[in-house]
Amino acid sequence: MSEERSARYAPKIDVQKFLARLPLHLVIVLIVVIWLVPSLGVFVNSVRIPREIRSSGWWTAADNLFAAETWTLENYEAVLDAQGMARSFLNSLIITIPATLIPILIASFAAFAFAWMEFPLRLALFSIVVGLLVVPLQMTFVPVFRAYANVGLTGTFPAIWLAHTGYGLPFAVYLLRNFFGALPKDLFESAFLDGASYQQSFFYLALPLSVPSLASLAIFQFLWVWNDLLVALIYLGGTPRVAPLTVRVANLVNSLGADWHLLPAAAVISMLLPMIIFLALQKYFVRGILAGSVKG
C-alpha cells in the first residue's frame, strides 16, 4: 500500500515543483534570449554580402535563407588579410596567456600564505590587498606610464603583462584565499604532523583541491584581459606590431567608411576564442565561485 500511495502522489509533487519553478525558468530563458539576440545578429551580418547588410536588417536574412548568393565568407577574408586582424589575433594571444597565468601563479602563493601560514601583520596585509579592489585603474595610468617610460617599457608586451598582473592580483588573491581557507583544516594538520612542509602542502594538497577555483579565476582573468581596450591603448598605443584585437577593432570603427560591413566579421573573430574558453571551463565556473564564497 505504501508503494502504491507514493507512486500515486509522486507525479503531483513533480508537477507542483515544476509550476513553482516555472517563473524562474521563464526569467532565465528571457535573459538568455536578450543576451543571445545581439550576438546572433552580429554573426548573421558577418556572413551576409555587403549589399544585403546595407539594404536590410539581419532579421530579414531568413527570407533568403537558402539563397547561396546571399551568404559569403569574403568579409572574414578581407578582415584577416587586408585589415591585419590575423596579426592582432596573435598579439591578443601573446598578451592574454601570460597576463592570465602570471597573476594566478603569484596569487596562489600569496593566498596560501594568507590562509595557512602565520606571520606578522597577516590580516593587515590581506586587508590592504583587498582594499586595492576599490582603487580606480585610471588613478594608476599616469604614474605607471611614467615609470614605463623611464625604463623603456612603453609599447612592449612586458609592459602590458605587468600592468594586467598588478590590476588582477587583488581580486585573484581575495578569491583564492577564501577558497584555500575553506579547505579542511584537519587535512593540513595531518600533513604537517607527517612531516610535510608548507611547500609540499601547497603543491600536493592545496593546488589539486583548488582546480575549480583556479579555473573560474582563469576565466575571469582571461576574459578581462582579452576584452580590455583601455589598458592596452594606454600602455601599447595603436602600433600594429603589438596592437591586440580590441585596439584593431576600435581602429576599424574609426577608419572604415564604405567598408563598415566588415565590422561584424571583426567582432565575431574577437569574441570567438573567449566563447570557446568559457564553454570549455564552464563546469568549473559556478563550483569555483560558490566554493570560494563559503568561508572568509
Domain of 271? 75-292
In DSSP terms, which residues pair with 71 in a beta bridge?
48
The Cα 72–Cα 261 span in angstroms is 12
Q: Which segments of the chain have a pLDDT < 70?
A: 1-13, 64-68, 82-83, 254-259, 285-296
Does residue 62 share a domain with residue 79? no
Residue recorded with cell 596569487:
107
Say whether both 7 and 137 belong to one domain.
no
Say yes or no: 97 and 235 in one domain: yes
Domain-ending residue, one of 48, 72, 96:
72
Q: Are residues 208 and 95 in the same domain?
A: yes
Into how many domains does the chain fold? 2
Answer yes or no: do 25 and 111 share one domain.
no
DSSP string, 166-229: HHHHHHHHHHHHHHHHHS-HHHHHHHHHTT--HHHHIIIIIHHHTHHHHHHHHHHHHHHHHT--
Instruction: Verify that 131 and 87 share a domain, yes or no.
Output: yes
Position 8 scores a pLDDT of: 54
Task: Quote the pLDDT of residue 295.
Answer: 46
Q: List the one residue out of 235, 280, 269 whose CA is nearest residue 83.
A: 269
Q: Whole-angstrom Cα distance, residue 43 to residue 45?
A: 5
3-state helix, strand, coil in the chain (%, to 5): 80, 0, 20
pLDDT of residue 294: 47
Say whether 113 sits in a helix, a strand or coil.
Answer: helix
In order, the DSSP letters of 238-273 are: T-TTT--HHHHHHHHHHH-STTGGGHHHHHHHHHHH
* Domain limit, last residue, from 45, 72, 99: 72
pLDDT at position 60 is 77
State how far the alpha carbon of 69 is from the alpha carbons of 52, 66, 75, 78, 107, in Å.
10, 9, 14, 18, 53
Single out the residue in 21, 43, 72 at which a domain terminates: 72
- Same domain? 63 vs 179: no
pLDDT at 30: 92
Same domain, 142 and 274: yes
pTM over 0.85: no
